[in-house]
Amino acid sequence: MTVTIKYFGLVAEAAERFEEILELDGVLTASELKAQCLNGLAIADKESVQIAVNQNLDDKITLKDGDEVALLPPFAGG
Amino acid sequence: MSRYDRQIKLTEVGLEGQEKLRNAKVLIVGVGGLGCPAAMYLAGAGVGKIGLMDHDKVDMSNLHRQVLFQESDVGRPKTVVAKERLEKQNSEVWFEVYEEPLTVDNAENIINQYDVVLDGTDNFETKYLINDACILTDKPWVFASIYKNEGQLSVFNYKNGPTYRCVFPKSTRQNISCEATGVLGVLPGILGTLQAAEVLKIILGAGEVLSGKLKLINMMQASEQTIKINKRPEEVEKIRKNGIAPVYIYCDLKNKEYWYLDVREVFEQPKPKGKKVLSIPMGDLTSRYQEIPNNQEVFVFCQSGKRSKNAIEILKNEFGFHNLKNVEGGIETIIDG
């Protein structure tokens, strides 16, 4: 299946991209995909990064072809 | 002709709406990049009472984005300057000044005196504090945060809607301020203005309030997205039952062998862990300098490296310390992570 990943904030910075399209095999939940995407990235607190699938905040959903996944870290600046 | 004529003409406002604005009370926590433009538009719209809360003083590096302040204001309390400026803009508005930080002790009492809270803060602990106090006092709050060229915006706890803890249940140590990352002045300008718009809609009961949604804006990419968020009732219940859950952000130091002196105020975070970290706020240096080791190197830090430099001057000139070294880039440069 093909899934589009959107990166935000310091996740985008660590991944050095705002978006990428991944070809994935097998059955994968949103949080499993998050772990895969963040693996190896220099992000101190990966737990704080939230996941949205098709513009809905949800980490338990099983992904399907054509899904858009957003990885959202909290921002603090003001 | 009324100063509000141009907005009264709108069907969403009218004379009735203007009266609602006149009777409304809005608390702005943090009069910085977000709080300045928000305060100006809310004052302009004729919101009856505006609370201005900030413990900070105007710094030259604020002027590119904190549009209420001028060069001659540098060194003066932000709240006091903001009140002076805004009173000139609209003398019909009552401004209440709080030259103190929002704390676990004062949050509920202060927020209870307002209808809506506008979050202009730059740190996670105060955002969670606003969130929890708003749950307990049953007030909506308009959230915004920035990271470099990106912003997040939402309205929380609006008519029993989702709260900040429903999006980010756990806090993070990554307390990265605009000072640390850099920001173009327009971005908090945009976000603060959008926050003011949400406040006005809440007061007027008009339009679609950004509740249950998180808006993501990337100013550089000229893109935006809205994410739907759901309530996590257990997160809200926990606060209702147990009260404010203070967030303390701890961090590890890269080098735990050295002695450190933290001259920030006690509420400033993150707090480094370790036995060799002394915490003495600037104001207490002259009464507590004897606690500082004088026979080995001590690294002195604050948030940015500015106050710690002054602290070293004081300790050197008044108490003869010669073993102090300034952490130039502030706390972010000495912590691990």
Choose the closest CB to A55 out of B32, B123, B227. B227
User: Where do the domains of chain A lie?
Assistant: 2-72
Categorize the per-residue pLDDT at B177 as very low, low, confident or very high, splitting at 50, 70 and 90. low
Q: Of B331, B98, B50, B67, whose CA–CA distance to B193 is shortest? A: B67
Which chain A residue has the Cα nearest residue B216? Answer: A8
Q: How far is A2 from chain B (nearest CA, A)?
A: 21
SS3 A7: strand
Categorize the per-residue pLDDT at A59 as very low, low, confident or very high, splitting at 50, 70 and 90. confident
Structure tokens at B217: 């804006």
Please indicate whether residue B336 or residue B277 has the higher confidence score (pLDDT). B277
**CA gap B232, B214 in Å, rounded:** 15
Which chain B residue has the Cα nearest residue A48? Answer: B172
Q: In B, what residues contact A, Cβ < 8 A?
A: 30, 32-35, 119-124, 127, 144-148, 150-152, 167-168, 170-178, 181, 183, 188, 214, 216, 218, 221, 225-230, 337
Which residue(s) pair with A4 in the sheet? A21, A68
B125-162, pLDDT tens digit by residue?
999 999 999 999 999 999 999 999 999 999 999 999 99
Can you give the pLDDT at residue B252?
81
Q: Of B55, B50, B62, B44, whose CA–CA distance to B25 is shortest? A: B50
Token pair 């006149």 in the structure block, residue: B22
- Looking at domain B5-242, its CATH class is alpha beta
CA angle B228, B234, B237 (to 5 degrees): 115
Can you give the pLDDT at residue B179?
65
- Looking at domain A2-72, its CATH class is alpha beta
**Is residue A36 within 8 angstroms of chain B, CB to CB?**
no
Which chain A residue has the Cα nearest residue B170? Answer: A48
Can you give the pLDDT at residue A77?
87
Choose the closest CB to B337 out of A44, A57, A76. A44
Mean pLDDT of B37-53: 98
> Percent of chain B beyond pLDDT 90?
83
Say whether A55 and B225 touch across the interface (CB within 8 A).
yes
A11-50, pLDDT tens digit by residue?
999 999 999 999 999 899 999 999 999 998 988 788 999 9
Say whether A78 and B145 touch across the interface (CB within 8 A).
yes
User: Where do the domains of chain B lie?
Assistant: 5-242, 250-336
Say whether A18 and B218 touch across the interface (CB within 8 A).
yes
SS3 B237: helix
Q: Residue B172 pLDDT > 80, yes or no? A: no
**CA gap B305, B295 in Å, rounded:** 23
**Is residue A60 within 8 angstroms of chain B, CB to CB?**
no
Domain B250-336 CATH superfamily: Rhodanese-like domain (3.40.250.10)
**CA gap B279, B251 in Å, rounded:** 14
What average pLDDT does chain B have? 94
Say whether B173 and A45 touch across the interface (CB within 8 A).
yes
- Judged by average pLDDT, the poorest of A61-65, B230-234, B251-255, B259-263 is B251-255
Choose the closest CB to B123 out of A10, A18, A76. A76
